[in-house]
Amino acid sequence: MNKINYFFIFITILISSCNHNNKNFNNKEFKKSFSVNGKVILDNNVNISKFFIVDTLLLAKLEGDDYHYIVFNSKTLNPLGKLAKKGKGPNEFPDVLQYEHHIAKNNQLKIWVYGWNTHKIYLINISNSIKNQNTIIDTVLKLAPQIKFNFLFVTDNYKVIGNTINTTTDMKRLLIYDIEKNKIIKEVNPFPKIENNNEDITFIFYKYNWLFLSSLASNPNFTKFASAMLYFNRIDIFDKNGNIINSYEGKNNITKTEIDGFFSTEIGNYANIKKYYSGTTSSGNFIYTIYYNKKASKSAESLPVKIRIFNWNAELVCELNIPNHLTSIAIDEKNGIMYGVAFFDEKILKYDISSILDEIKTDSK
């Protein structure tokens, strides 16, 4: 598969009314900026597209492989085994299989993964899978066919909180769904408000809905969710009931003129609007997201990026200047490490951000 096709996959995976009288709307720019250089690691693993921190393990998403994932020891970076064989047989998974989040219970690590094509959410027992060198599935949850998430989180009582994909006439910025009762609990319609009189399905899927694409992150106990928008310089924080509680909007946000210009171009042309946020991840302390602030036409160019770090009040805490063109990040906050994938440059990098985290944690007290 060539890099043009990988780029399409990358953009597709990235993407996907409540009370808008939120009391805290923040637009203060960051107070601190740091320059950080990384060290190239795992230079024989160029088919890795994303990393995820799973407690003491490092989980990587594979492209062009017979398996969806590979697991590394985060300290030694030694491979521990591959997970989720591609296919349609027993304990096999067709594309697309997307990692969502992990849980740790009874000294076992497990991950929730979402099969877009099967409409199922699987709980894979990583501890037992590594021990047996075979993918062990503990639980399978079935979604109703009309429920099509982009990113999601599964709570202890099997309620699913996420955002929906763009290829639906009823796209949501946030959706809360009870699997056991097959009931939608809360729907948050797309916002900010954009006027649209074009009812053509293709236009809605690939123009109107496209503007509302966002990545989603949660704090550890699923009480707060951060929705970082791809084509708006905006991040919104929701509570566990889907109510908006805080927002951040940057000064150089998308304009009505840019939106009108985007709507007037042919389907599939995203070149003249900016990309802002992607690859969002989080912890109990902070929200981390890649900040591009560049035209979508330059998405595959090897240009430096910034990592913006927000607190859960939607305040911009600091910005990391990264010389590499990262497409995905993972944060090991406990050990002060950031992993980055520069997919188009075929590089995987490791950054020491321990002193920066110590400083901003001290500032936030």
Q: What is the CATH number of the domain that holds 56?
A: 2.120.10.30
- Mind listing the pLDDT tens digit for each residue in 191-250? 999 998 899 999 999 999 999 999 999 999 999 999 999 999 999 999 999 999 999 999
Please state, in angstroms and rounded to a whole number, the distance separating the CA atoms of residues 144 and 17: 22
Q: How many domains does the chain have?
A: 1
Cα 308 off chain centre by:
14
**Whole domain around residue 344: which residue ranges?**
3-364
Please state, in angstroms and rounded to a whole number, the distance separating the CA atoms of residues 255 and 272: 12
- Mind listing the pLDDT tens digit for each residue in 147-186? 999 999 999 888 999 999 999 999 999 999 999 999 999 9
Q: How confident is the model at residue 133 (pLDDT cuts 50, 70, 90)?
A: very high
Cα torsion 296, 288, 16, 82: sign: positive
- Mind listing the pLDDT tens digit for each residue in 81-102? 999 999 988 889 987 899 999 9
Which of 13-27, 234-248, 292-306 is the least confident region? Answer: 13-27
Q: How confident is the model at residue 138 (pLDDT cuts 50, 70, 90)?
A: very high
Mean pLDDT, rounded, for 40-56 = 91
Q: What one-character DSSP code corresponds to residue 30?
A: P
Neighbours of 11 (CB within 10 A): 19
pTM: 0.90
Sheet holding 79-86, edge to edge: 48-54, 57-62, 67-73, 79-86, 92-93
